[in-house]
């Protein structure tokens, strides 16, 4: 696993977290309990401190970096979608950052807020608690319904369980040469559906 000290500062990774062997963690990075850091994520604590609090997840190919002397923080149960970039910002408790979004220095994503996929949250912008923002630059679209926030929380619990399952079952292997009869599927941990299917009832 590529974990590196930088300038004598070593990352801190809670033993109940799962950091994929193909993620990179450098320097002043603190990863809390039950966190999932997915393949290809880069957490580079060579300027500001990076903090990923309990139960949060940082998905595939995300980048997390900080401005010199500043912290970049994902609070408890924060959920960072594939390919997102976080730079010197704060993501609030139980907030969601959508895939391929960029959050800039000094921006604050409020508790239970959603940043839509492909959005750009400019430096210093504050996303109000429990709202959806979208666009380039991101603007407040509406207040989230309680059911949407509950859906997000259920998805985050799925990733927390995934971190546990990875710790217990992920092993390198040789591929099979052909599909076996009655091939199993990866287990669904909670049966959660995509949000658009939930809206259909």
Whether 77 shows a pLDDT value over 70: the answer reads yes
Return the number of other C-beta atoms located less than 10 Å from residue 179's C-beta: 7
pLDDT value at residue 185: 85
Residue-wise pLDDT tens digits, 114-153: 999 999 999 999 999 999 999 999 999 999 999 999 999 9
Indicate the average pLDDT of the chain: 94
pLDDT: is 193 or 128 the higher one?
128
pLDDT: is 64 or 198 the higher one?
64
Tell me the pairing of strands 85-87 and 102-103: parallel
Coil, strand or helix at 62:
coil
Model confidence, pTM = 0.93
b/e sequence 69-94, b meaning 16+ C-beta within 10 Å: ebbbbbbbbbbbbbbbbbbbbbbbbb
Whether 74 shows a pLDDT value over 70: the answer reads yes
pLDDT value at residue 186: 80
- Percent of the chain predicted with pLDDT > 70: 95
Between 65-79, 106-120, 182-196, the lowest mean confidence (pLDDT) is in 182-196
Q: What is the mean pLDDT of residues 178-195?
A: 80
Q: What is the mean pLDDT of residues 160-173?
A: 94
Coil, strand or helix at 169:
helix
pLDDT value at residue 61: 98
Residue-wise pLDDT tens digits, 39-72: 999 999 999 999 999 999 999 999 999 989 899 9
Q: What is the band of 187 on the pLDDT scale with cuts at 50, 70, 90? A: confident
């Amino acid at each position: 696993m590529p974990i590196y000290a930088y300038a004598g500062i070593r990352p801190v990774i809670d033993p109940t977290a799962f950091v994929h062997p193909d993620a990179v963690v450098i320097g002043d990075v603190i990863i809390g309990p039950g966190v999932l850091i997915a393949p290809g994520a880069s957490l580079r604590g060579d300027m500001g401190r990076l903090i990923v609090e309990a139960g949060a997840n940082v998905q595939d190919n995300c980048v997390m970096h900080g401005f010199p002397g500043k912290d970049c923080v994902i609070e408890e149960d924060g959920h960072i979608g594939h390919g997102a970039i976080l730079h010197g910002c704060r993501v609030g408790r139980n907030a969601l950052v959508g895939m391929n979004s960029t959050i800039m220095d000094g921006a604050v994503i409020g508790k239970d807020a959603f940043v839509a996929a492909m959005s750009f949250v400019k430096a210093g912008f504050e996303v109000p608690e429990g709202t959806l923002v979208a666009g380039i630059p991101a603007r407040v679209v509406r207040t989230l319904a309680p059911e949407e926030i509950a859906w997000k929380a259920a998805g985050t619990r799925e990733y927390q369980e995934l971190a546990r399952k990875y710790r217990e079952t992920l092993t390198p292997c040789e591929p099979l040469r052909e599909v076996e009869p009655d091939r199993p599927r990866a287990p669904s941990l909670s049966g959660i559906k995509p949000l658009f299917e939930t809206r259909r009832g």
